[in-house]
Amino acid sequence: MERVASEANEFSRYGSDTHKQVYIYGGLDRGATTITRNFGMSWGLGGWLLTPFLGKIGQEGADRLRQRVADEITTTFASSYGMRLSLTDVVDPAMVKRYGLMATGDKALITPQD
């Protein structure tokens, strides 16, 4: 990305002045975030959290988003689970060890009615 953006007519030791923004989603890898600075000096790094976002868009915006999720719960927002757990299962040490893993694609759904 930076190589293409920096193919300007004049040299700049700071790289291109095109701003690049990187967002970190999720947190399964608890290790340090390492950035190799070969992409110029005009960049930003951030995360995204739902609760602060909902606060920024206000009640009306949040209500619209909630309605969209409700309307599309079996399509756009459909999900699958690696396991379904009753409340009894949730406290079983063997199950805690399994669902406590930081793993992609193996979410646990707790079903209190079971």
pLDDT digits (tens, 9 = 90+) for 32-88: 888 877 777 888 888 888 899 999 999 999 999 999 999 999 999 998 888 999 999
Contact between 20 and 1 (Cβ < 8 Å): yes
pLDDT confidence tier of residue 9, bands split at 50, 70 and 90: low
Contact between 32 and 56 (Cβ < 8 Å): no
For residues 106 and 67, membership in a common domain is answered with no
For residues 71 and 84, membership in a common domain is answered with no
Residue at token pair 């000096």 = 41
In terms of phi and psi (left: phi > 0; alpha: psi -120 to 50; beta: otherwise), the region of 15 is left
For residues 37 and 62, membership in a common domain is answered with no
For residues 103 and 72, membership in a common domain is answered with no
Please state the pTM of the whole predicted model. 0.54
For residues 72 and 84, membership in a common domain is answered with no
- What residue numbers bound the domain in which 16 lies? 1-47
Contact between 101 and 29 (Cβ < 8 Å): no
For residues 83 and 73, membership in a common domain is answered with no
Residue at token pair 């976002």 = 53
For residues 25 and 12, membership in a common domain is answered with yes
What's the Rg (C-alpha) of the chain?
21
Indicate the number of domains in the chain. Answer: 3
For residues 71 and 38, membership in a common domain is answered with no
Query: Side chain identity at 15, as an amino acid letter?
Result: G
For residues 38 and 71, membership in a common domain is answered with no
